[in-house]
Amino acid sequence: MVTEKKLLSQKKDSVHSDEKKKDKPVSDKKAEPIEKNGASAEKPKSSTSHPKVQIFCPNCGHPLKQGATFCNNCGYNLVTKQMPKSQPQATRQQVATPQVTQKVRKPMKPLTKVLLSLLGVLVVAFIAFYAWGTQHYSKNNQIEWITSSLRDPNKGMAQYITADTPSMKVTDDTVRPLQNYYKDHQTAVTKMAQKLKEDIDPNDQISLVKNGHYLLIFPKYQLQVKTFQPQVETNHGNSEVSMNGKNIGKLSSDDGKYAKKLQLVFPGKYHFTVKSIPI
């Protein structure tokens, strides 16, 4: 009995093993070879690459594009091998670069140094002198000098006065009557100074003009004064005329009138006296 059970169990095991073999599919494909690194080996593709050749213009040497028929730089025709008629052939000009040579400076002589130093001192001194003179001899300063002398008859005024005619002699004595007048009219002098600074003539008889220079550089301003030639008349014969205490001569007769024409004078304050001479 025991032997029969063993045989039955062996038959069952063999049947099960046969069924498993039938169920397992059999593949006809061959396994692909696997490289050691785990990647499948691929055959390298053969590629034929040709390097590009740069073409240059045979006329000017400018680089050309592939397939170009003419040069963009000089216009050379690559097909006809000719230059266009309207454009001249480009010519290369070689510019010569001048060679710079360094000159060795010679040491300055002592005399030259002294002269240059002296010249520098003179230039600085002249600049300082010119700045001082421009301020000192300014127009407004000169107007103040003129009007200050005009107020005081004791100051010399001839240097600030010029006549409207060259025949008039300008001296301190001939100008003093004008000073005597403005001594009594100080307000008029103040107004005159203000108008002169504003380039306005104070009246019809006086104006400010440039006449000469101070120190050959700075303009000199003077008052140009109008002159007059007065005439003294009287009905007394055989008389003498005095002006400001100075005898100027006898009066001459003309149709019963006695008159004396005086020399040119500036406007101002005058005192005339007529004195009869006893016969």
- Same domain? 238 vs 262: yes
Highest mean pLDDT among 74-83, 89-98, 172-181, 266-275: 172-181
* Lowest model confidence (mean pLDDT) among 14-23, 115-124, 238-247, 258-267: 14-23
Which one, of 91, 237, 244, 103, lies nearest residue 178 by Cα? 244
pLDDT in tens, 147-180: 999 999 999 999 999 999 999 999 999 999 999 9
Beta strand pairing call for 55-56 and 257-261: unpaired
- Looking at 225, 241, 261, the residue that finishes a domain is 225
- Same domain? 167 vs 187: yes
- Same domain? 150 vs 213: yes
- Looking at 225, 243, 263, the residue that finishes a domain is 225
Q: What confidence score (pLDDT) does residue 38 get? A: 41
- Same domain? 184 vs 213: yes
Domain count of the fold of the chain: 2
- Same domain? 221 vs 263: no
Q: What is the extent of the structural domain holding 144?
A: 136-225
**Better-scored residue on pLDDT, 78 or 243:** 243
Is 242 a domain residue? yes
- Same domain? 219 vs 236: no
Is the pLDDT confidence value at 98 over 90? Answer: no
- Same domain? 191 vs 264: no
- Looking at 225, 242, 266, the residue that finishes a domain is 225
Is 162 a domain residue? yes
The radius of gyration of the chain from alpha carbons, rounded to an integer in Å, stands at: 63
Percentage of the chain surpassing pLDDT 70? Answer: 74
Is 218 a domain residue? yes
* Lowest model confidence (mean pLDDT) among 36-40, 158-162, 189-193, 238-242: 36-40
pTM for the model stands at 0.58
Q: What confidence score (pLDDT) does residue 46 get? A: 45
Q: Which are the contacts of 68, defined by CB distance < 8 A and separation ≥ 6?
A: 55, 78
Beta strand pairing call for 161-163 and 218-225: parallel
- Same domain? 191 vs 247: no
Is 191 a domain residue? yes
The two tokens of residue 6 are 């063993």
- Same domain? 180 vs 251: no
**Diameter of the chain measured on Cα atoms:** 221
- Same domain? 220 vs 141: yes
- Same domain? 242 vs 206: no
Is 126 a domain residue? no
pLDDT in tens, 193-225: 999 999 999 999 999 999 999 999 999 999 999
Is the pLDDT confidence value at 130 over 80? Answer: yes
Is 65 a domain residue? no
* Lowest model confidence (mean pLDDT) among 12-26, 133-147, 167-181, 255-269: 12-26
Provide the mean pLDDT of the chain. Answer: 79
Is 34 a domain residue? no
Q: What confidence score (pLDDT) does residue 75 get? A: 80
- Same domain? 246 vs 209: no
Q: What confidence score (pLDDT) does residue 95 get? A: 55
Alpha carbon 205 to its chain's center: 44
Contact 239, 152 (CB under 8 A): no
Strand partners of residue 232: 260
Is 46 a domain residue? no
- For residue 161, the one-letter residue type is I
Q: What confidence score (pLDDT) does residue 50 get? A: 54
